[in-house]
Amino acid sequence: MSNAFPKLHNAMWPGLVGKGSPGAEPFISLDRMLELTTQASVNGQKFDGVDLFLFDPHIGIDLKDDDIKRLADKFASKGLAVGSVVAPVWPGTVGDSAMGGPEQRAKFVLAVKKACRIARILNEQGVRKYGVIRIDAADGPSHWLEDPVGHTKRIASTFREAGIVAAAHGERLAAEGEICWGGMHSWKNMVDLLEQTDMPGTVGFQADQAHTYLYLLGYNAPEHALLKEGYTPAEFDAAYTKLTDALRPWTIDFHVAQNDGTVHGSGSHDKTGRHCRADDPNGKLDITATAGYWLRGAQDRGLRHLCWDGCMFPNATLENPQTWNTILGAMIKVRDAHGWNA
């Protein structure tokens, strides 16, 4: 018997991230990403919604209220809810480094405030009833390493300021742990940052199955590696249990994904955990089984949906309808195994 929750969403940002810059593949429009999402079907089951990146050329962060309302109507007309939204916190967008100086950190908080405005309008239009605002440190490990203690302290302070803004709008922030973000580039650093931020229930963790697999390997922090190449199933279970026990209590948003143990960057995006097709023969993860480690107690943490993150998939992969049917099938298996009906 299938479960009603968590709802199954598709990310729209694979049409944007790592694309559109010189030498990179072109953007894929929001309308096209929505079309590919709504066309997917597995035994009559469809995607329930989408997660959004609040930046051009998909959704301008300063879009007028009426234009946002029209977007909400578009989503609703396609039978899609909106879940989590990505705030443009990076240098060159609205935001800037969370470990930078006062002006840079103020830009970071401003990006969150602007994202909250769009989220509020989507909520008021009835198309968004769950989800978080996604953030990261907006700076890399090499800068963080210049002053690990001081930079973690500054990121935590920035996250707290942003958390206060989010809470005032009835929103929660989720920091997506990736090896490319300073102070968030290992599982231990991520836990330390969340503990220093000290806003449980308001500032939490966004777990991505691909990125957190690289945490296990200690890709950008060998001293925090939990696994070595050639590991046994028992060693994997022990390591994955340790990883998820540490981060699961903070996890308020979840990306279903696959990884082959490698990293990938495209366009302006630094190398991070490679997102692979759900049926990639080189995939290291049993997607359904490993999702269960993260989703234990998810309902109690306010998690209401899952999102597939195909970030930096080649355009040919994104444009292939079978990609999305396979992904949707993988997500249905996760929900059937670990979901609920409340």
Instruction: Report the CATH number that the domain containing residue 116 is assigned in CATH.
Output: 3.20.20.150
Residue 2 lies in a domain: no
pLDDT of 74 over the 80 cut: yes
205, 134 contact by CB (below 8 A): no
Contacts of 162 (CB under 8 A, 6+ apart): 108, 109, 112, 135, 173, 203
Among 54-58, 78-82, 259-263, the range scoring the smallest mean pLDDT is 259-263
Strand, coil or helix: 184? coil
Angle at 31 between CA 25 and CA 34, to 5 degrees: 100
Quote the pLDDT of residue 312: 73
Confidence of residue 265 (pLDDT cuts 50, 70, 90): very low
pLDDT of 274 over the 80 cut: no
Quote the pLDDT of residue 277: 82
Confidence of residue 271 (pLDDT cuts 50, 70, 90): low
The Cα–Cα gap between 84 and 10 comes to: 10
Average pLDDT on 165-190 reads 97
Q: What is the mean pLDDT of the chain?
A: 94
Quote the pLDDT of residue 269: 42
Quote the pLDDT of residue 272: 62
Give rounded-to-5 percent helix, strand, coil for the chain: 45, 15, 40
Average pLDDT on 278-287 reads 91
pLDDT of 266 over the 50 cut: no
pLDDT of 329 over the 70 cut: yes
Average pLDDT on 48-62 reads 97
- Domain count of the fold of the chain: 1
Residue 288 lies in a domain: yes
Residue 162 lies in a domain: yes
Higher-pLDDT residue of 262 and 254 is: 254
Domain of residue 165 covers 7-338
